[in-house]
Structure 1
Amino acid sequence: MNAQVFDPIPQRNAVPPALFNVCFVLFVINAAFFPTAYVAHWWITDPSGLGIPTDFVNVWSAGKLVLDGHPAWAWDWDIQKRVQVDLLGQTFAGHFAWHYPPPFLFVAAFLAQFPYQVAFIGWAAASLVPYLVVMRAIVGRRFGWLLAAAFPVVLTNVLVGQNGFLTASLVGGMLILLPTRPVLSGICLGLLSYKPQYGLLFPVALIAASQWTVFFTAGIVASAMAAVSWLAFGTESWQAFFHWLPMFSQAFLTEGRAPWGKMQSIFALVRYFGGSEPLGWAFQWTMIAAIAMVLVLVWRSRVRYALKAAALATGTLLVTPYLFLYDLMVLAIAVAFLVRIGLGEGFRRTELPALGAMAFLLMFYPLFGAPTGLGATLIMAGLIARRCLVGRT
């Protein structure tokens, strides 16, 4: 693989006004929403002062169970809900289940040392920082800060207190460091093992590119995290994780406890339109096989590295059936790589309108209630494919 990470960007190429203006408007919306929502009690607490049920409650509650000396209880849906109801001061329908591997309990336990509101806001702010840094590094210009802050999923991720910023930071960090800092790249990938559903394509790409240092470093880091979490939280925590994982899969991928429109995968799209579970898996496995084969070809080719990186980030989202809107923060990494190429040699005629369509699908998901994020990801895949097929290599 070419040792050079990126083609240099000619400084004479200005950011297209349409791209800058749209990003600026989206940034203002994101920046203005949360102070307004907090004061108006649309975010974190309601007008009665009670906690608003949302995803972050399972992180804080899992951490509280760790601090109370019962880490294995974090995976028990009923125990988790009792802690959450006590924390929020009100009950709610359904469950916010904890399904992460035990190493992520370190993050949860740290956050649970703080009051809930402080932890919620602090988590969003702290995880935002590496995401902004990675996006700036990929784009290679100060415009990277604006592009990162303008990405439509930023609002969703912060609103529910999810980990999309962290995931995007690790994926982007792994990709930007891979050609020149393989050990650091492997560390990023090893840390990403807290989201095991992302673990399918990275080994495929690394093996195809003979990136053995990254491959083995990631394995060592992931194994070390598992070992340390076993020492910290005991065998019972790993037993609980593996015991509850099939139940979680049954609830969300078979029974549809979360509406199918909330998940952004081809599997969910089939189920959304009334298709059976076997049909959904048939589409999903076909997607997995196709993306894996394409990525092997791309990563073994002479295509420029930025396109390989964008393809891997995009493909990672397409191959997992369990994917919510906040997970599409990773799509920002693919967008950043494409924008870097566009700023260097000019955007193709259809690229900026296509990026606008992606932003529309991500922003207005609540109006459709359908897996529009899958549409945005497929648009990104199409843009990358076109560059790979007819672009300069």
Structure 2
Amino acid sequence: MTARNFRTTFWQKGIREGAWLTWDRIGFACLCSGIGLSLGLVWMLLVPNSFGAANGTVLMDYFSFWLAGRQALAGAPELVYIPAEFSALQKSLSGSDTIFGFFYPPTFQMLLTPFAALPYKAAFAVFILSTTALLCVSCRLITGKWLLAACLIIIPACANNAFHGQNAALTAALYGFFLVGVERQRMILAGIALGILTIKPQLGILAPVALIATLNWRTFLSASATTVVLAAASVLCFGVGVWQVFWQQAPVASAMMEIGGVEWGKMISVYGSLRQLGIGHAVAMGLQAGVGIGALVCVWRVWRRTEDMAVRSAVLVGGTLLVTPFALSYDLTLLIIPCAFVIRDGLRNGFLPFEKILLAFVISLSASTPAFAIFLGFPMAPLLPLAIVWLGLRRLDLSGEGRAQTGEPGHISGTASA
């Protein structure tokens, strides 16, 4: 084979069609990832390591979740929304100066209480296993295959979420249930999933836009009712005072973001990337708002013009991660959901040119953005949700705009192997 033929074959098969992404290679990579994730969690929770305080507490994000649940069980849920007191509590229990904020509404605190009844490390493990299992069920509903779902929940972003003890697997699962419900015309159930997603409200900013664009009032009302019921339940459990303290603390989160209290390199938003590049707060927020408006327009356009969920999910979830200024690296776990829809559609109808390589790029780098930003000075994180949005818009254009409107299958080139 000549050098020219090699270059042509490499470009055509390796890059354009992604022919090297065979099930054998993907399966082996997933097996290694699963083993590594399991061993990593065992090491972090059971073996003394650099993440442990002197008393053995694993100093990761879940520490604040567990304490929030413990304070609720102790009858003092409002303490977690008083930064000085919550910091003092963490220091007294861990013996370390490392502290974590808790900026979630009382509805999420209420959901944490069952886990807080367990010892800390057991609660950490149960929380991660249960929320990741929910994500696996969500991916199974999307793809129709347990094996494919299992592969999706051990991608780097999900592993990153697990090591932090964060809730991105839960929010991704809820997004998946919402989108599956809409796709299968289970509008009330879709609304319930979306209503529960208000435990992390910045991730639901664009969902009402999608529902209004499609005049989906049943899901809209179901989500609204679920939100009210959850809030009322938290008032019954904790009293109205905890909500008052929560709203009083809300500006602290904005201040922490503005002053870099959360490292900008660990953020995945346009705002965080611009701040790391030395751009001031006002200009960065203005550009963030511009990107947000663009994402909103894309969601409106796509949800009005097609019922293809591979397109809808890519633009909605990718746009959601672009529109919020406050999102961290583990939130890239949400990209599992549009990836699942696109992979399902690609296996059925064929992948677009360069689509498989793009998916591989997004998945493989989904836990590496802080390293690129902090050590290399390259804040690449917004490129990943942007790539997913572009993938969705490209499918809308190249597969025949609004295939569901014409009833004719669109032409998608490429192979059906994965």
TM-score if structure 1 supplies the norm length?
A: 0.90
Larger Rg: 2
Distance in 2, matches of 1:32 and 1:371, equals: 29
Partner of 2:382: 374
Partner of 1:197: 202
Q: Which deviates more from structure 2 when the two are superposed, residues 339-348 or residues 139-148?
A: 139-148
Partner of 1:60: 66
- Contact 2:319 2:386 (8 Å CA) reproduced: no
> Residue 178 of structure 1: SS of its match in structure 2?
helix
Correspondences of 1:1-393 after superposition (within 5 Å): 16-42=23-49, 45=52, 49-88=55-94, 90-93=95-98, 95-179=99-183, 180-252=185-257, 254-302=258-306, 304-368=308-372, 369=374, 371-392=379-400, 393=403
- Contact 1:268 1:321 (8 Å CA) reproduced: yes
Question: Which residue identity lines up with residue 34 of structure 2 in the other structure?
Answer: F
Distance in 2, matches of 1:125 and 1:386, equals: 35
> Residue 323 of structure 1: SS of its match in structure 2?
coil
How far apart are 1:199 and its partner, in Å?
2.6
Question: Which residue identity lines up with residue 145 of structure 2 in the other structure?
Answer: R
> Residue 97 of structure 1: SS of its match in structure 2?
coil
C-alpha spacing 1:204/1:197, structure 2 compared with 1 (3 Å): same
Distance in 2, matches of 1:169 and 1:313, equals: 12
Where does the alignment leave 5 or more consecutive residues of structure 1 unmatched? 1-13
Distance in 1, matches of 2:136 and 2:57, equals: 29
- Contact 2:139 2:340 (8 Å CA) reproduced: yes
Q: Deviations over 1:54-77 (max 9, x none)?
A: 211111111222222211111111
> Residue 347 of structure 1: SS of its match in structure 2?
coil
Distance in 1, matches of 2:384 and 2:325, equals: 16
How far apart are 1:91 and its partner, in Å?
1.5
Question: Which residue identity lines up with residue 110 of structure 2 in the other structure?
Answer: F
% identical equivalent positions: 30
Where does the alignment leave 5 or more consecutive residues of structure 2 unmatched? 1-20, 404-418
Distance in 1, matches of 2:207 and 2:80, equals: 29
C-alpha spacing 1:341/1:21, structure 2 compared with 1 (3 Å): farther
Q: Which deviates more from structure 2 when the two are superposed, residues 24-33 or residues 305-314?
A: 24-33
How many aligned residue pairs are there? 376
Distance in 2, matches of 1:38 and 1:68, equals: 25
Distance in 2, matches of 1:83 and 1:122, equals: 23
Q: Deviations over 1:38-93 (max 9, x none)?
A: 444348646x55213221111111122222221111111122122222332x2224
How far apart are 1:212 and its partner, in Å?
0.6
Q: Deviations over 1:325-354 (max 9, x none)?
A: 111111110111111111111222311221
Q: CA RMSD in A?
A: 2.0
- Contact 1:190 1:221 (8 Å CA) reproduced: yes
Q: Deviations over 1:103-128 (max 9, x none)?
A: 11212222221111111111111111
Distance in 1, matches of 2:358 and 2:62, equals: 32
- Contact 2:135 2:153 (8 Å CA) reproduced: no
Distance in 2, matches of 1:289 and 1:309, equals: 18
Distance in 2, matches of 1:385 and 1:300, equals: 13
How far apart are 1:151 and its partner, in Å?
1.6
Question: Which residue identity lines up with residue 231 of structure 1 in the other structure?
Answer: L
- Contact 1:138 1:144 (8 Å CA) reproduced: no
> Residue 150 of structure 2: SS of its match in structure 1?
helix
Distance in 2, matches of 1:16 and 1:175, equals: 26
- Contact 2:329 2:367 (8 Å CA) reproduced: no
Distance in 2, matches of 1:383 and 1:331, equals: 12
Q: Which deviates more from structure 2 when the two are superposed, residues 304-313 or residues 288-297?
A: 304-313
Partner of 2:409: none
Distance in 2, matches of 1:268 and 1:222, equals: 29
